[in-house]
Amino acid sequence: MITSTAVPVAIVGAGPYGLSVAAHLKALGVPVRVFGVPMGSWRTRMPAGMFLKSTPRASAISDPAGRLTLNDFRAAEGLAWVGDRYAVPLDEFIRYGEWFQGRCVPEVERAAVVRITPTPDGYRLALDTGEAFTARTAVLAGGFPPYATVPAELWPLVGAGLASHTSEHADLRKFAGQRVAVIGAGQSALESATLMHEAGAQPILVARTRQLLFGSPPETDRGGERPWPERLAKPASPLGPGWSFTAFSRATGAFRYLPDRTRAHLVRTVLGPSGGWWLQDRMQGRFPVLTGHEVASAEAAGGRVRLRLRGPTDVLEVDQVLAATGYRVDVERLDYLDPGLRRAVARRNAGAPRLSSSFESSVPGLYFTGLSAANTFGPLMRFVCGTGFASRRISRAIAAGNRR
Ligand SMILES: Cc1cc2nc3c(=O)[nH]c(=O)nc-3n(C[C@H](O)[C@H](O)[C@H](O)COP(=O)(O)OP(=O)(O)OC[C@H]3O[C@@H](n4cnc5c(N)ncnc54)[C@H](O)[C@@H]3O)c2cc1C
């Protein structure tokens, strides 16, 4: 079925960024159609039993009035106010996102966008329901899953069903009884290995870093309650205390003026691999950790895996490998974009879209938000706390364009 009337804005994605930009656009009177499973990535691409690393305050999805924070949700549910020392459980955050969606964007359509093709007056979007329609503007908020990265050494194992990326699992109990090499040193690696161990698997963490790092527990529930010399030395920010984090949170718009190499370096290194403060006791001493080791090659033998490592331990035999090896933004991975359209999007740093100050790509009317925008606007875009900055800029630009 082809719908003939053009919609002003189509939003691909109903996670925190898609929901937030929809809420901001609607508040400015811009009609939208929003596609995706609300909080879909959090439901199916993260492990049950996980906790958020961001504080409750930094986990608010931005709405135009700023009245739909996680604590507003808790109040509506009859739950007590929580501060920085509360680790938010995954299921609570999903319920919060769905509550936000019900209030701001109840019209979300649970359809997948399977193709976006340019037309003379905008974009033709084809849905998995068989419907196709035209939108003048498209905002891509499809999140992190398309960018999941597995090191090349593990590719042969993936084909054989012996290795997978963390983003493929919502339930790690399926590994119970198995010996699993978990590759990585970030929160995802440390938490996945811990959850697996607690579920009766035998994880072995393999990390390139010489030492695992963990955050420190916040001293107070409200950042503003810390003694003033400490606040001066390390001001509070949604990314954590410190001047550099404050700069990334407050001067987000300036990030795109940094030289390409500096931005690429900062995106890679700021908030590098480390575990949440509440994870350390649950993990340390519970299972083997091979720091200073790197996978050199991998082969399948008799339904098991033999990993050759660079490091003091040179061979590891396991039943499965779990790659907690992160995400790399690359427009080429967005297979729902017409190949010609993908080629037309100017890139920076080997694959990330080059964006304007209002998140518009080099293709007029095609916007990117969330992780796809981290190369342009910095680390804030990797987290829910970036929704306010992104949604305000995108919605104002689109509303202004609509009035012209
Ligand atoms: C394990 C893990 C833990 C994390 N913990 C934190 C944390 O503690 N705090 C924090 O701030 N951030 C955390 N993050 C980062 C977090 O993922 C992002 O902050 C947030 O999810 C970004 O929201 P988003 O809307 O851009 O993307 P997503 O949440 O990924 O949402 C994407 C949406 O797009 C939809 N979609 C995708 N493709 C299509 C399509 N073709 N058609 C229709 N719909 C589509 C999906 O169904 C989904 O609704 C974590 C990430 C991971 C992987």
DSSP symbols for 33-53:
EEES-TTHHHHHSS-TT-B-S
At 222, is the pLDDT very low, low, confident or very high (cuts 50, 70, 90)?
Answer: confident
Residue 167, exposed/middle/buried by CB under 10 A (0-12, 13-18, 19+)?
A: buried
Is 17 a pocket residue for ligand 1 (Cβ < 6 Å)?
yes
Statement: residue 139 has pLDDT above 70: yes
Pairing of strands 289-291, 202-207: parallel
Which residue's alpha carbon is at the smallest distance from atom 49 of ligand 1?
14
On the question of pLDDT at 2 being above 70, the answer is: no
Identify whether the C-beta of residue 166 lies closer than 8 Å to the C-beta of residue 181.
no
Give backbone dihedrals phi and psi of 277, rounded to 5 degrees, phi first: -60, -30
Q: Using the atom order of ligand 1, give the atom closest to the CA of residue 369.
A: 26
Pull the structure tokens for residue 136: 């003048």
State residue 116's pLDDT score.
98
Find the 121 Cα to ligand 1 centroid distance in Å.
30
pLDDT digits (tens, 9 = 90+) for 162-204: 999 999 999 999 999 999 999 999 999 999 999 999 999 999 9
Q: Are the beta carbons of 46 and 188 closer than 8 angstroms?
A: no
Q: Return the structure tokens found at 145.
A: 């899953």
Q: Whose CA is nearest to atom 33 of ligand 1?
A: 13
Ligand 1 atom nearest residue 36's Cα? 44
- Which pLDDT band, with edges at 50, 70 and 90, does 6 fall under? confident
Q: Is 349 in the pocket of ligand 1 (CB under 6 A)?
A: no
Tell me the H-state helices in 145-291.
155-159, 187-198, 228-233, 243-250, 260-269, 280-283
Higher pLDDT, 241 or 72: 72
Predicted local distance difference test score (pLDDT) of residue 403: 61
Distance CA 184, CA 324 (A): 5
Domains of the chain: 7-147+328-403 (3.50.50.60), 152-214+274-323 (3.50.50.60)
Q: Does the Cβ of 88 fall within 6 Å of ligand 1?
A: no
Residue 5 has pLDDT above 90, yes or no: no
Residues with Cβ within 8 Å of 164's Cβ and at least 6 positions away in sequence, in order, are 158, 320, 321, 322, 323
Distance CA 250, CA 254 (A): 9
For residue range 270-322, list pLDDT tens digits in order.
777 889 999 999 998 999 999 999 999 999 988 899 999 999 999 999 999 99
Determine whether the shortest distance from the Cβ of 327 to ligand 1 is under 6 A.
no
> CA–CA separation, 128 vs 116, rounded Å?
12
Evaluate if residue 385 carries a pLDDT over 80. Answer: yes
Q: 191 C-alpha vs ligand 1 centroid, how far in Å? A: 18
**pLDDT > 70 in the chain, percent:** 98
398 touches 25 (CB < 8 A): yes
Secondary structure of residue 191 in the 3-state scheme: helix
CA of 369 to the centre of ligand 1 (A): 11
Least confident of 230-234, 262-266, 390-394: 230-234
CA-nearest residue for atom 41, ligand 1, is 113
| 3 has a pLDDT exceeding 70 | no
Residue of 139, 134, 240, 118 whose CA lies nearest to 187: 240
Q: With 80 as the cut, is the pLDDT of residue 1 above it?
A: no
Give the residue among 155, 154, 116, 147 at the shortest CA–CA distance from 132.
116
Other Cβ atoms closer than 10 A to 277: 15
- Taking the CA of residue 111 as reference, the ligand 1 atom at the shortest distance is 43
Cβ pair 127, 114 in contact under 8 A: yes
Nearest residue to 300 (alpha-carbon basis) of 163, 172, 194: 163
Separation between Cα atoms, residue 164 and residue 159, nearest integer Å: 9
Six-digit token string for 223: 């950042």
Asked if pLDDT for residue 4 goes beyond 90, the answer is no
How far apart are the C-alpha atoms of 378 and 197, rounded to whole Å?
34
How far apart are alpha carbons 85 and 67 in whole angstroms? 21
| 37 Cβ below 6 A of ligand 1 | yes
Mean pLDDT of the chain: 93
User: Residue 130, Cβ neighbours under 10 Å: how many?
Assistant: 10
Nearest by Cα to 291 from 269, 273, 268: 273
pTM to 2 decimal places: 0.95
Ligand 1 and 283: CB distance under 6 A = no
Residue 32's contacts (CB-CB under 8 Å, 6 or more residues apart) are 7, 8, 9, 10, 11, 22, 25, 26, 105
